[in-house]
């Protein structure tokens, strides 16, 4: 599996916009488009996107859904998150591209959203609408607590390690409790309107 270490966490069902300029990734994108296959996205633990990096072991498959040539000559790509995976081993090709053997993690089944959490649906809907084009064509599953929590964790201002911990957590209910705690803390610290 071709791997793309990034300073971001990709969640299942989430969008991933990329601007590609390194030859190894341009080649990878071309090959993945021809094969209609995914690549693996992993959060960088230590290092840089353009240099050597060590990553976390749990990542998300990314399927390219759109691409374009930018006016600056860079390749623009939009991908969507698929299944989560665990990285078992990594090899570095002569061109610098990392590839790895991965084990797909079990798909998280849809989880009906409990009635007591219905109020947060409107919050997420408004946020996704405000985020514009990137989320405009995204299928929305507000009745699915798993999907809902992935979207919240993706857009809430959490540090990358917290986002990674959420990616590794297979319990939609635990993520839902985290989201509610975060929203409550934001409400408590926001100034009252005048």
- Encode pLDDT of 76-114 as tens digits: 899 999 999 999 999 998 888 889 999 999 998 889 999
DSSP for 11-28, written as a single string: -TT-EEEEEE-SHHHHHH
Does the pLDDT of residue 194 top 70, yes or no?
no
- Look at residue 68 in the predicted model and tell me its pLDDT: 84
Mean confidence (pLDDT) of the chain:
89
Cα R_g (the chain), whole angstroms: 18
Backbone torsions φ then ψ of 49, nearest 5 degrees: -65, -35
Residue 70's CB is within 10 A of a number of other CB atoms, namely: 11
**CATH topology for the 115-189 domain:** Methane Monooxygenase Hydroxylase; Chain G, domain 1 (1.20.58)
- Look at residue 169 in the predicted model and tell me its pLDDT: 92
- Look at residue 149 in the predicted model and tell me its pLDDT: 94
Does the pLDDT of residue 47 top 60, yes or no?
yes
As a whole number of angstroms, the distance between CA 121 and CA 70 comes to: 35
- Look at residue 168 in the predicted model and tell me its pLDDT: 95
Per DSSP, helices labelled H in 36-171 are 119-130, 133-136, 145-155, 160-168
Does the pLDDT of residue 193 top 60, yes or no?
no
- Look at residue 191 in the predicted model and tell me its pLDDT: 58
pTM, two decimals, is 0.88
Pick the CATH number of 2-104 from 3.10.20.440, 3.40.50.2000, 3.40.50.720, 2.30.130.40: 2.30.130.40
- For the chain, which residues make up each domain, given as ranges? 2-104, 115-189
The tokens of 15 are what? Answer: 């969008």
122-172 pLDDT per residue, tens: 999 999 999 888 888 888 999 999 999 999 999 988 899 999 999 999 899
- Look at residue 184 in the predicted model and tell me its pLDDT: 82
Residue 132's CB is within 10 A of a number of other CB atoms, namely: 8
As a whole number of angstroms, the distance between CA 68 and CA 171 comes to: 36
By DSSP bridging, strand 53-55 and strand 15-20 are unpaired
Closest C-alpha to 6, from 59, 65, 78, 77 = 59
Give long-range contacts, CB 8 A cutoff, 24+ apart: 146-150: 146/108, 146/109, 146/110, 146/111, 146/172, 146/175, 147/13, 147/110, 148/113, 148/120, 148/121, 148/124, 148/176, 148/179, 149/175, 149/176, 149/178, 149/179, 150/11, 150/12, 150/13, 150/14, 150/81, 150/175
Any residues with CB less than 8 A from the CB of 103 and at least 6 apart, and which?
85, 86, 88
More confident residue, 70 or 100: 100
The tokens of 167 are what? Answer: 């990616």
190 pLDDT tier (thresholds 50, 70, 90) = low
């Amino acid at each position: 599996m071709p791997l793309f270490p990034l300073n971001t966490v990709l969640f299942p069902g989430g969008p991933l916009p990329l601007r590609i300029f390194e030859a190894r990734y341009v080649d990878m994108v071309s090959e993945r488009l021809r094969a209609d296959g995914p690549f693996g996205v992993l959060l960088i633990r230590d290092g840089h996107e353009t240099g050597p990096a060590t990553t976390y072991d749990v990542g998300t498959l990314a399927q390219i859904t759109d691409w374009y040539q930018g006016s600056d000559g860079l390749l623009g790509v939009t991908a969507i998150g698929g299944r989560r995976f665990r990285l078992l081993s990594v090899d570095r090709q002569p061109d610098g591209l990392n590839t790895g053997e991965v084990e797909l993690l079990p798909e998280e089944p849809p989880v009906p959203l409990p009635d007591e959490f219905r109020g947060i649906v409107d919050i997420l809907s408004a946020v996704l609408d405000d985020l514009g084009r990137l989320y405009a064509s995204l299928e929305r599953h507000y009745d699915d607590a798993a999907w809902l929590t992935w979207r919240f964790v993706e857009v809430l201002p959490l540090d990358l390690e917290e986002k990674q911990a959420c990616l590794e957590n297979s319990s939609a209910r635990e993520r839902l409790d985290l989201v509610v705690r975060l929203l409550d803390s934001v409400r408590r610290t926001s100034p009252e309107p005048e």
